[in-house]
Structure 1
């Protein structure tokens, strides 16, 4: 999109700089004059923060005020641009929720920008996991509220279950300003935020975990090309049936097959120190796009218990899901959405398709002089690792700081050991020592530094160059392999060359990397030259092709997931609209008075309206919880309809709509029954908690076995 209209405003703001700079105290800027707003915001930031926004930052601010996703390179000052835009939206009379990727960044940015907001006449607050109810109430009463996207989502879920209108703390959604927008809006769009209650112990399956350990790949089971599916061979099915004494493919008793599939997936497809770590006696998931521990996240559909059984850990508590909302559904509640990131163009199609958003590419304040070398491609992983260690040792001898980005925790630790054997002293940053992140990053740009990191160092961090480092060529970024998303590669490259600094980057890749073997398994790689490097252009093509295939697969998963969840989101909107009328008005009283006028007349006038309200709220909440459970079970088995040549999505929607209508009737029936009872049971869960569900990377259980059901039946 063209930036010409924004550039005209920025130019006009520059012409006002002298006039605004002479003012003793900048006035509250009129929002019908964006040039004057920019001039005042620039002066306020300069006086309160010691940061005078560049023209590029004002362009970003205007794009955000215009409801766009601003793509701004690393080090270009996205935090300040976002704060100026948030202040602008607030001065237009709209409440703004600035959604961050974690609590640390939300609090840091809110406190850092607070003096600027005060100068602009705007109030600001923040929420985090440790915030009390009163602190949350105060933060959401501010003009601008910073919070992790998950924390804001959890507060929305808590409010949905309030039975006292005065306890609702999250205001009506107006503006969402999303930091790291591609990560939140695309990578984590499918992640459900869950509110659960009625705690009980999880269902661990240690027997199945022990059985899975006895099975041999290639004989008892196989893994598909993309490592998204594991399935029993005919010999494996016979072995399991003999050991357990069951018919695995009895369609009337699918539980054993599902438990076995869960155990097999935990055993064969989820790897410790790659997909998760074990810390403090608990399984902690690793966010693949960030390399960090995904706090409060867990796998769905029994997979969490299967991994815990695999690691011989006590099962974590589980409970009935009272309500849930996906990150995509949460953000789409806001009538105005904008955001900023360093890598938006690559996902512009998804941002347009799922949110109706356009991308504005903001030019850098200073041209990027980083030297990005072509990939160095090797035939095998050992060849790549040997060359990688050699390159690190050679560059380190010059004193130039090096940041090596690895794909997972295990790889970061293995590479560190290889370097230590060469007498080098790398600093490792991964999900296991995330508490030391700030200190490690602060030293990563100093002379002689060697930092080995997962994708943790790829986002939200600025690495400043130490004294004399610019003369050595700046920070040298090395990727130990290509990610499944080109955006993650670009984020890693972006750690070097910030604000016109010198820097360099290169990726080491092998034809045996998981990206290549999973997504282009049938392609024959070209031979290496005498020095071990694959220089034939087909080598680089295969790597790029594999990455494009991986991105296409993930986009299709996103589309398919949204086809199922958008109906649920629509039903949730309808039920919440009804619930709000009950909570804030007299809808319950009118309905019950009309449904049972005799009983209504018997009740005390001063309490009967509140009694009616609590009865209907309880019925709505219970029936909605049961509806969610029904839809989960329905989706779990809906793909069996494909065997009957029916469309799974059409069948899902048909049954979900019918069940929703039945649920509405059931709410009325239960409400009247409770209203007529001498002492209605309005009990609610004694404890509730929130967590995020790691979107199951393998699909539903029936998705994974559907291909095998037909062959198993034929085998009999």
Structure 2
């Protein structure tokens, strides 16, 4: 057949596309050789194909065999562009492939190739459990024909199930579950208790989301500690009765709030204390946290309450952020605000950011529909280049310019009317909203206008696959929070494509955004749901000058009197520029937060690696026993050799783990307070390093000293057990992710509150 002229033409076009960082030419030139192998491979029986798959080593043979295995297992012959994507992944790139272009199958061929080339085991890291399980089961027939074993891990997997899944050649697992398993493996006292094998190769699905948006999210392993007092619930009760404007004032950007003098006086009277006395620091902190939860965090926008608990909403995906908590007492404050019992945070035994965890893999590659916008960041943090893969069929979606309105009510009225007109014609409409509250409000407005709709948001995200699958049906109206990472194609005419021709005649799926997100990539993910595989489609965004994005980041750029129609539609180039500018500023702010957070994390991750190497030696060798023979020779020589080996290892590991937990807590406190030194014109990062480096150097000395002390005091008679030496590990452990604090650190808030009080009293 040969590569068609049409495909060659599109390759040339994409090779010239601005922002593309990888030349696809060398990969495209292999396509003819891959096709040349097709006929011979088709003549092989399944057993012979599996045998051939075991011998493949180069790009051409891997892709040729992978294509034939997919054809037999799924009755789907991978397109040339999917093979281009697979080759990009084999070269350690991030492949940008449009929504609906078959990334799942592309990753399968690449995973097989990495295994064959000796890069395994391979972990395909997904954004959630649903995709990990679905993709592993969906692709298993392909892997079977390729002679590759595959497994999957979800939050519900038992330890034995995890161990079995990780023993496979390819394992599908959400990035958080993989990270939690890594943390738990770092605390085992017997190497046989580990579930993961080597972190050899990671293929990252939704790479921009995981590697950039979630990169700085800490994954936490916590242990049970005795319960203490709970000042937050008391604070919540006091704050609940305060009046906005009288007792506290919130900033226009919605990111800070502070007590007024009247508010502080009322609280001090109720508590009978001077809140600015040194001994009242904890009480004042609790009140400030409670005030932020009360005044700034919004139910059904920032979180939902479900099954007796507070569940955070991932603003990038519009769904519940599984097992995620706000830090600095903010989680407990929101739980108190909603009248719920505070969930335990426990003592942090170990923690690692998503970015640091992925950096542990020897080989990293990934795929997403939106990578070019973060190409510089992928290069900066992971040394990854982006390969933009052309679509199999040209995109004919019609993207309209933004419709900008002066106010929310005018925008919402026009939005409902636009949806109603499309619905009356039978054209399916997918509306992307910014949060749960907005999705529910729009659904009510549509119902009042006689337009039935289906809502997909964090409250029913378990039903997402079924809802999205029917979003292209004739007359369907689907109101959803963000679509990034949803992982299901929208087929015109519904999941069975019964009414495909009718929907095509109407122009295909119509995607409408009810406001711009802080990230262009999230908007592009929504827009990309239309125009799949060359389907017709359309998209438009409705923007209000009252949107948070515009008021926060473009207020100064807006003209005083923009040109507009009588219905509130704005026609002003300066306003259009301001909206685009606001989005770029928001992206820049998030990038700087990422960069700043990582600067502080670098030294901690270097220390973690050094400590992990030390722990590995203790776990797998007799280094602890040898140390005790040198440092406590009399008792060591009196001790049975097997008991010495077991006790030395257990004691040394116990103190290493305990002191590492204490070290992390100490660095957290240093990180919290280091910004005070900026007031003295000192560099906070330098000051952090001045504290962190000596503390870590002292750590090794302390581990050794405590190990020797415990050993000398231990009763090492018959039947020695760690409990007899008070080497007691946490009775329970659990995992969670730390969600970004939307208001900065507790110290930042406290300084702001103190500053507000001083400035108001001095005026």
TM-score by length of 1: 0.97
Contact 1:200 1:318 in 2 (8 A): no
Q: 1:354 aligns with which of 381, 401, 412?
A: 381
Contact 1:200 1:317 in 2 (8 A): no
Structure-2 residue corresponding to 1:593: 629
Structure-2 residue corresponding to 1:623: 659
Residue deviations 1:287-306 (CA, integer Å, cap 9, x gap): 11111111111111111110
- Pairwise CA distance, 1:100: 0.5
Q: 1:493 aligns with which of 523, 527, 535?
A: 527
Residue deviations 1:43-78 (CA, integer Å, cap 9, x gap): 111011111000000000000000000000000000
Q: What SS does structure 2 have at the residue aligned with 1:607? A: helix
| CA–CA separation in structure 1 for the residues paired with 2:180 and 2:756 | 44
| CA–CA separation in structure 2 for the residues paired with 1:524 and 1:471 | 40
Contact 2:218 2:351 in 1 (8 A): yes
| CA–CA separation in structure 1 for the residues paired with 2:558 and 2:32 | 55
Q: What SS does structure 1 have at the residue aligned with 2:440? A: helix
Contact 1:100 1:147 in 2 (8 A): yes
Structure-1 residue corresponding to 2:13: none
Q: 1:531 aligns with which of 567, 590, 604?
A: 567
Structure-1 residue corresponding to 2:749: 704
- Pairwise CA distance, 1:336: 0.9
| CA–CA separation in structure 1 for the residues paired with 2:227 and 2:127 | 30
C-alpha change, 1:175 and 1:476, in structure 2 (3 Å) is: same
Q: Which moved more, 1:286-295 or 1:677-686?
A: 677-686
Q: What SS does structure 1 have at the residue aligned with 2:224? A: strand
| CA–CA separation in structure 2 for the residues paired with 1:523 and 1:244 | 46
| CA–CA separation in structure 1 for the residues paired with 2:60 and 2:464 | 39
Residue deviations 1:315-354 (CA, integer Å, cap 9, x gap): 1122111111111111010121100000000111111111
Structure-2 residue corresponding to 1:286: 313
| Residues 1:165 and 2:210 aligned together | no
Residue segments in structure 1 that go unaligned for 5+ positions in a row: none
User: 1:29-108 maps to which residues of 2 (within 5 A)?
Assistant: 30-94=55-119, 95-108=121-134
- Pairwise CA distance, 1:520: 2.1
Q: Which moved more, 1:20-29 or 1:688-697?
A: 20-29
C-alpha change, 1:348 and 1:211, in structure 2 (3 Å) is: same
- Pairwise CA distance, 1:167: 1.2
Residue deviations 1:235-292 (CA, integer Å, cap 9, x gap): 5444444443444444564222211221111112210000100001100111111111
User: 1:353-392 maps to which residues of 2 (within 5 A)?
Assistant: 353-392=380-419
| CA–CA separation in structure 2 for the residues paired with 1:571 and 1:225 | 41
Contact 1:291 1:430 in 2 (8 A): yes
Residue deviations 1:403-431 (CA, integer Å, cap 9, x gap): 11111111111111111111221111111
| CA–CA separation in structure 2 for the residues paired with 1:560 and 1:251 | 30
User: 1:140-539 maps to which residues of 2 (within 5 A)?
Assistant: 140-199=166-225, 203=230, 205-250=232-277, 253-456=280-483, 459-466=486-493, 467=499, 468-525=502-559, 526-539=562-575
Contact 1:199 1:318 in 2 (8 A): no
Contact 1:199 1:687 in 2 (8 A): no
| Residues 1:691 and 2:727 aligned together | no
| CA–CA separation in structure 2 for the residues paired with 1:297 and 1:199 | 20
Structure-1 residue corresponding to 2:42: 21
C-alpha change, 1:204 and 1:505, in structure 2 (3 Å) is: farther
| Residues 1:573 and 2:609 aligned together | yes
Structure-2 residue corresponding to 1:139: 165
Contact 2:204 2:210 in 1 (8 A): yes
Q: Which moved more, 1:172-181 or 1:672-681?
A: 672-681
Q: Which moved more, 1:663-672 or 1:173-182?
A: 663-672
C-alpha change, 1:678 and 1:531, in structure 2 (3 Å) is: closer
Residue deviations 1:202-261 (CA, integer Å, cap 9, x gap): 836223223323334444433334322223345544444444344444456422221122
Contact 2:558 2:578 in 1 (8 A): no
Q: What SS does structure 2 have at the residue aligned with 1:673? A: helix
C-alpha change, 1:697 and 1:710, in structure 2 (3 Å) is: closer
- Pairwise CA distance, 1:189: 0.7
Contact 1:458 1:495 in 2 (8 A): no
Structure-1 residue corresponding to 2:30: 9
- Pairwise CA distance, 1:479: 0.6
| CA–CA separation in structure 1 for the residues paired with 2:101 and 2:529 | 12
Structure-1 residue corresponding to 2:496: none
| CA–CA separation in structure 2 for the residues paired with 1:678 and 1:13 | 67
| Residues 1:550 and 2:550 aligned together | no
Q: Which moved more, 1:228-237 or 1:57-66?
A: 228-237
C-alpha change, 1:30 and 1:222, in structure 2 (3 Å) is: farther
Q: What SS does structure 1 have at the residue aligned with 2:451? A: coil
Residue deviations 1:155-197 (CA, integer Å, cap 9, x gap): 1111111001111121121111000011111111111111111
Structure-2 residue corresponding to 1:110: 136
Residue segments in structure 2 that go unaligned for 5+ positions in a row: 1-21, 494-498, 716-724
C-alpha change, 1:208 and 1:363, in structure 2 (3 Å) is: same
| CA–CA separation in structure 2 for the residues paired with 1:234 and 1:617 | 52
| CA–CA separation in structure 1 for the residues paired with 2:547 and 2:204 | 33
When the two structures are aligned, how many residues end up with a matched partner?
716
TM-score by length of 2: 0.91
| CA–CA separation in structure 1 for the residues paired with 2:450 and 2:34 | 56
Q: What SS does structure 2 have at the residue aligned with 1:254? A: helix
Contact 2:125 2:202 in 1 (8 A): yes
Q: What SS does structure 1 have at the residue aligned with 2:627? A: helix
| Residues 1:662 and 2:688 aligned together | no
| CA–CA separation in structure 2 for the residues paired with 1:48 and 1:286 | 38
Q: What SS does structure 1 have at the residue aligned with 2:384? A: coil
- Pairwise CA distance, 1:90: 0.5
